[in-house]
Amino acid sequence: MTDAVDNDQDGDYQIELSGRVLHGHDPAQVRILLARKIRLDPERAGRLLGGKPRRMQRLYTREKAEHAAKRLRQIGVDCQIVAAGAEAPARPVIQVPEGGLAIEPIGSGTQAGPLRTCPKCGHDQQGGDRCEACGLVFAKFRAELAPEAPPPVAQRASPPAAVDTIVEVPAPPDDDADPGYTPVAPAEASSASGRVPWFAIVVTLLLVAIGLAGWFLTLDRGRGDAGNGAGFSGRANSPPKALAVATQLEALGALIPGWAALNGRPPRDVTELLSGNSASDLEASDPWGTRIRLRVEVGGFELRSAGYDGRFGNADDFVQRGELSP
């Protein structure tokens, strides 16, 4: 809401604006607030802060004049209360809306110069080479904004000199040379040497794929061999009788793959079933219901299970008797 200064025609005092902004206030902000107080646009209100004293035409009582001056100082406008005196010389008066403040210039002197607006703070003033609000020197400000002059012709950078390009021209072939010889220009030779044939890329990718496949197969086979021998890893801690028949236990390791193939189970299941046994007489029941009985002796071993039934001296004896395909 617009806050106009109280006006009253019954009084003996007037308010005089010095045209300056109080210390510590932003001139641009003061101009906006003053425009709201006196109900003028900011541009016209800014002219009242141009450094020239102006007196309000309204007459106030002493109490109301002090109140109005206090409110103007609060927004940063420097002003004072003066006794109503003789009328000021005839000068153009800024027209304000009804209810606003009419302000007239004091003094009969002519204007010091054309109206100037500070490009930095927006302060309006009559003439002068320096802003009365912020102290900006107008000529110096314009010089800083002026574009730099182009350098003299002698100082301008000359265009880079043309670089001679040497192209080797292949010599014509000798008469004794191959008639199918075709010279290749340097540019063509460089492009041909830098081009990688597509089939070379394909062959390289195939070799990489084959190498990876072989590595995975070797890794899986190593895991299977480790699983096959895991069932007999505890023989070092076995009693003397079990250590005496280590050869027969190793023979059993050779028989397990065939036994597992016959029963449709992986060798790892069989070795895990027999792992941890250190005695020479092993008997266990696998999860699929097949009972395995192994009796190991110094002269051989006895195996009782599905598909295997008999007494064998060693693994070779077992294979020769046709019980296990080599």
Residue 17: strand pairing partners:
54, 79
Tell me, what DSSP letter sits at residue 232?
Answer: T
Domain range list for the chain: 13-143, 228-320
For the full predicted model, state whether its pTM sits above 0.75.
no
Q: What are the structure tokens assigned to 70, written together? A: 């206090």
Q: What is the pLDDT of residue 256?
A: 67
Instruction: Give the C-alpha separation, 222 to 234, whole Å.
Output: 20
Q: What is the pLDDT of residue 226?
A: 47
Q: What is the pLDDT of residue 101?
A: 52
Contact 248/294 with Cβ under 8 angstroms? no
Instruction: Give the C-alpha separation, 285 to 274, whole Å.
Output: 9
Give the 3-state DSSP-derived string for 36-65, with helices as H, strands as E and coil as C.
HHHCCCHHHHHHHHCCCCEEECCCECHHHH
Per-block mean pLDDT, blocks of 10 residues, the chain (326 long) = 49 87 90 85 82 85 91 91 65 45 45 64 72 80 68 56 52 54 48 63 88 76 48 43 49 62 63 51 50 62 64 66 49
